[in-house]
Amino acid sequence: MQSKMPLIGEKFPQIDVQTTHGKLKLPDYYSGKWFVFFSHPADFTPVCTTEFVAFQKRYDEFKKLGCELIGLSIDQVFSHIKWVEWIRDNLKVEIKFPIIADDTGKVASLLGLIHPGKGTNTVRAVFVVDPQKTIRAILYYPQELGRNMDEILRMVRGFQISDKNQVAIPANWPNNELIKDEVIIPPPSDEKTAREIVKKYECFDWWFCHKKL
């Protein structure tokens, strides 16, 4: 099977998976919800353990956004179960989201998650998927660098605000250096609107206007 990572704007592919919560059909299982699909190199590894704890610590915040989490690595379901037990018993954190067992590598290959220069382990990839099953963002990390879960939360919040209000989200939002927690108005596409927009919003120029929500 050819290894090709799906692109932003494409539908998340239909996959039947075995997880620590049983067999699931993706993305249909999360139909009508946002979900974050993430891969990790392997169970019982230090960086991955810190990531799972970090995801779980923010799980309630994701759920408040109507967003679910699901992990994956090329390990058997027995390994996932034992690792989750170890995290619970030793770190006092109960992992409540499912983890896909992809010991055949079929799912990872379909999603382009195996780096040819890194052996058979999956890379640290993140797919943010919206309720219409469309991939909205992709993050791709090396094995040696753990992810920032607050940024993934920020992305989901930003997408939801952008979709609801038809606005753009500035850098480092909601702590942007220029407009703080405000959002950006899409630039006008004609002269008349360009003249009118500066009367309606706070603007640096007609092509850079912003507002509070």
* C-alpha pair distances (Å), 125 with each of 73, 147, 152, 187: 11, 9, 12, 32
Q: Is 67 a catalytic residue?
A: no
Between CA 149 and CA 152 the distance in angstroms is 5
Q: Which of 48, 67, 203, 209 is catalytic?
A: 48
The angle at the Cα of 121, spanning 50 to 106, to the nearest 5 degrees, equals 115
The residues, any chain, with a CB within 8 Å of residue 120's CB and separated by 6 or more, are 74, 105, 114
- Active site residues per annotation: 48
